[in-house]
Structure 1
Amino acid sequence: MAEKKKGAPELTEAQREKARAQMLKQKEKAAKKVKRQEAKATKDAERYEKRVAAERKRAAEARAQQAAQANDPAYQAKRAAELEKQKEQGRREMEKARKRSAK
């Protein structure tokens, strides 16, 4: 007499087909998920590169502008006047503070 196997019973053809379909569906779902994740990562990387490039461009423009201003006599005169004005304002504030403390 043949002994009965323990474990899962023999599946019918319909059950095997159903299991195959489910596995295929799961694989497709997982593949779609991976594809979405890759697309998102690519898009994020592109955004990052674009942002970094824009920041570099702005920094380069700022350096170029500063260099141009540093060589411009009109800018230098204006800057010197601003510094002198700030020094004068500082002196006035110190004098006011001395007067207040003297009272």
Structure 2
Amino acid sequence: MDSPLHIDVRLQDCPADLKQELKTKAEERFARELRKNFPDDKSLKQAFKLFSDASEGGLLSKAEEKVATTWTKAFDKARQAGFRDIAVEEAYFEVRVSQ
């Protein structure tokens, strides 16, 4: 049996005066929206891995490229959800996926 997938989301480079509660809620919204864009943890993990491989210069087949783009689309939707209700410039979400 596989252990549950862990998604670590951190809002980086946000203003020092941003309340921790708002930051935490933004990170939680991001993670929740990211999960909603995949049918299961296995699909999410595969898309993240292929996207990461491609970002580091790895060669992907056409089928793998298609899967990797699902990560990009899901990340964008999650980013939009995460930034809802907070006004920050220059901030970004850092994501780590592990099992």
TM-score (norm 1): 0.27
Larger helix proportion, structure 1 or 2?
A: 1
Larger strand proportion, structure 1 or 2?
A: 2
